Amino acid sequence: MYVGLLHVKSYIGTKCPPVELSLELINNNPSQALVLYTDGSKSDSGRTGSGVYAKAEDGLVFRCRFRNPDNCSVFRSELLAIREALNFALHFENSDIYVLTDSKSSIQYLKNWPKIREKTGQEVVSKIATLSQKSRVFFQWIPSHVGVFGNEEADVLAKEGSALPSASSSELFTPEIYSIHKAIANSAWRNTPTHYWYAGNRPGLSLQSVGTRSAQTALARLRSGHIKSLKFIDKEKTFSSCPCSCPASPAHIIDCIGASARQLWSGEGKGLVELLERHGVMDLV
């Protein structure tokens, strides 16, 4: 497989602006060439889209825009745009193909094609291999938002794609699935259940209790359910006897001293510890 990766020239210290250098490179392409501009975009609402603008040697213009699945990254949108551009290029015969993108990360990613394992990258590499049997395929980085017409058109198409009502595909990949899982996990933590056991405003409620270290430890054990009287017999939880001859489970101890579970999970921990000491059951906790 032959893939030409055009070297990115440094614009630092040059007299002409980046757009002029880019246009010079593009204008020096062979006359029998298919030039494809690709871009990806992400809106403020999190929607992503891809855009492709192409111009063949016979003047044929191709425009394509599409929305990507929610939680799709901009990098993935860039790759999807390149994949769509190569799909279009498959319809042409004996033309050099130039893929012009403002995404350096996409070019660097594809340059290491033997190490690509995920589906989108493999599809792009497969299309490059197919095209390289009849054409030379070049990838060129160009600066964005400096007046390169094709790049500006692809950028507009990508933004329009992100605004479409539905995604062209529901296909998700590992990074997107991880983002969804992370968002759900964060949301579940911010929106705690309504049960009064979750009344603490942050983890480590026992450490906020006023009192001695032993009092804080007793509260922490009661809240976790792992008190001193807890034993496991045949993998079943059992408890030593309370002074009232009942199994000394955390719920029973709280009820036996005339307290409530709400006191345990509120800022009234000091009063609860005093009740434990008054009834002589601290040794069970």
156 and 55 within one domain: yes
- Distances 179 to 70, 182, 198 between C-alpha atoms, Å: 10, 5, 26
User: Whole-angstrom Cα distance, residue 197 to residue 262?
Assistant: 7
Instruction: State the Cα–Cα distance between residues 285 and 283, nearest whole angstrom.
Output: 5
Contact of 6 with 97, CB cutoff 8 Å: no
**Number of domains the chain contains:** 2
61 phi, psi to nearest 5 deg: -110, 135
Of 134, 157, 175, the domain-final residue: 175
Residue with structure tokens 């059951």? 281
Question: Amino acid identity, residue 82?
Answer: I
Give pLDDT, residue 21.
43
The residue length of the chain stands at: 285
Q: How would you write 12-55 as a 3-class SS string?
A: CCCCCCHHHHHHHHHHCCCCCEEEEEEEEEECCCCCEEEEEEEE
Domain match, 212 and 170 both: no
* Residue 191: inside a domain: no
Q: Can you tell me the distance from the alpha carbon of 144 to that of 163, in angstroms, rounded to the nearest whole number?
A: 21
> Binning pLDDT at 50, 70 and 90, where does residue 171 land?
low
Instruction: State how far the Cα of 151 lies from the Cα of 158, in Å rounded to an integer.
Output: 10
Find out whether 35 and 96 touch, Cβ atoms under 8 Å.
Answer: no
Range of the structural domain that residue 235 is part of: 206-284
Q: Would you say residue 183 lies in a domain?
A: no
pLDDT tens digit sequence for 92-123: 876 788 899 999 999 999 988 888 888 888 89
The CATH number assigned to the domain holding 115 equals 3.30.420.10
> Are 213 and 170 part of one and the same domain?
no
Same domain, 90 and 167: yes
- Of 240 and 20, which is predicted with more confidence? 240
Mean pLDDT of the residues in the chain? 76
Question: Which of 262 and 138 is assigned the larger pLDDT?
Answer: 138
CA torsion sign for 70, 75, 80, 81 is positive
Whole-structure pTM value: 0.55
Same domain, 168 and 255: no
* pLDDT 10s digits, 8-39: 333 323 333 344 444 555 555 555 688 899 99
